[in-house]
Structure 1
C-alpha cells in the first residue's frame, strides 16, 4: 500500500510545531481561546484536537487571545525557578505547556491557529502547589501593541483584566475559595528565562522536536 505524503497529516500543535528559530525572543504561539469565547476550549494532549473543556458558567472571559507555546513543558526547571523567586520549597510544575496571552488590537474570532508573538513579561502564578506561569506577549507587528517591549509599557487596564481573569476563572461559587495567586509580575528578561526553562523541561521529557517556524514559512511565500 502506498504511503501517504507526510503533509497529508496535520501537525500536533504541542509536539509537531516548533516554537521558532528565534525562540524565546520571538516565538510561535498556538491560540486556543479568544475573548469572544463563551466556553473554555483546551487542547486534547493525546489527539492534538481542541476539545470543549467546560462552559463558562459565570462572567469570565479572557481579555486577549490565550493559548500555549509549542514544545514547552512546566516541569522541574520551571518549578525550581518559581521556588527560588517566591521562597517556597514545595512547588512543582503543572505538567502542561507554557501558557501565553497575546495582546493585539485585531479582532480574532476563533482559536486553533498559530501566531507570531514577542514576549514582554509574565505572571508567576501559583495554583495550589503548582507553578502555572502565564507569559504575556504582543502580536508581532501589531499596530497598537507591536512596539511594546516591557510589561510597564502595557496598558494598566489590560494587565489588571488579565490578573482578574486568571485569579477568578477557576473559582466556582459554593465550592470554597481556590488557592490561586499571582506571586510576581515579571518583565521580559524573566519571561525569556521561564520560557527557556520550559523548553528544556520539554526536551528532557520528549526530546527535540521539529525546527520549522512560522517565520520561515512566511519567507517562502
Structure 2
C-alpha cells in the first residue's frame, strides 16, 4: 500500500481530511515518506534548538507548490508516530515560500478530539501559538539551507481551497504520468 496514493484526501466529510504523520510533536528526528517507494525513511536530526511543536505530516493525494504532498500541521496534546493516520479538520493555512516555490502548510486539529471542538478557524488559535509555529517553520527551512519566507496566515476557508487546488494538481500529475506510460 502506498499511503500517498491509496488513502483518500477526504475523510468523513467535505471539511475533514486524512493526515499521514511524518514527524511527531516534540521530536527532533526527521522522517519523510518516500512517495515513490512507499515507506518512511529517517532523514536526519534537526539541528534546530526547537522540537517540532505539532505533529507534522502530509495530506494524501495532494501536490503542493513544491511538487511534494501538501504539508499539514496537526495541533495535538500528545505526539503520535510516523505513519499514524488522523482524521483532521483544517482551520488555517500558513502561506510560505521556500526558495522560488510555494510551500504552504495547512494547520488542522483532530476532528475526533473534543478538546479542539471550539477551534474552527484562524481566529480561534491563540496568537502566541501561531507565532511559535511561524517561528518553527521559518527556522526549520533555514536550517535545511533553504530560504523559507513566511507570507501570512489565512483562514479555514482558504485552507480548504488550498487543499482542493492540491488535489487538482495531484490529478493532473496522474494524468501526465499516464500519458507517458502509454507511449
Using the size of structure 1 for normalisation, the TM-score is: 0.74
Number of residues paired by the alignment? 175
Equivalent position of 1:216 in the other structure: none
Matched, 1:148 2:148: no
Matched, 1:26 2:10: no
1:14 counterpart SS class: helix
Distance between the aligned counterparts of 2:8 and 2:166, measured in 1?
A: 13
Unmatched tracts of structure 2, length 5 or more: 176-183
Listed as ranges, the matches of 1:36-47 within 5 Å are: 36-47=26-37
Alignment RMSD? 1.8
Unmatched tracts of structure 1, length 5 or more: 1-10, 75-92, 208-221
1:194, distance to aligned residue in structure 2 (A): 0.6
Asked whether the equivalents of residues 104 and 144 of structure 1 are also in contact (C-alpha less than 8 Å), the reply is: no
Matched, 1:181 2:149: yes
Query: Which structure has the larger Rg?
Result: 1
Distance between the aligned counterparts of 2:47 and 2:76, measured in 1?
A: 26
Asked whether the equivalents of residues 39 and 54 of structure 1 are also in contact (C-alpha less than 8 Å), the reply is: yes
1:31, distance to aligned residue in structure 2 (A): 0.7
Q: Which of the two has greater strand per residue?
A: 2
1:192 to 145, 148, 160: 160
1:122, distance to aligned residue in structure 2 (A): 0.7
Equivalent position of 1:79 in the other structure: none
Q: Which of the two has greater helix per residue?
A: 2
1:24, distance to aligned residue in structure 2 (A): 5.1
Listed as ranges, the matches of 1:1-221 within 5 Å are: 11-20=1-10, 25-74=15-64, 93-105=65-77, 107-172=78-143, 178-206=146-174
Asked whether the equivalents of residues 93 and 105 of structure 2 are also in contact (C-alpha less than 8 Å), the reply is: yes
Asked whether the equivalents of residues 125 and 183 of structure 1 are also in contact (C-alpha less than 8 Å), the reply is: yes
Using the size of structure 2 for normalisation, the TM-score is: 0.88
Asked whether the equivalents of residues 26 and 54 of structure 2 are also in contact (C-alpha less than 8 Å), the reply is: no
1:40, distance to aligned residue in structure 2 (A): 0.7
Distance between the aligned counterparts of 2:31 and 2:140, measured in 1?
A: 13
1:21, distance to aligned residue in structure 2 (A): 5.4
Greater relative CO, 1 or 2 (CA 8 Å, sep 6+):
1
Asked whether the equivalents of residues 63 and 158 of structure 1 are also in contact (C-alpha less than 8 Å), the reply is: no
Change (3 A) 1:132 1:17: same
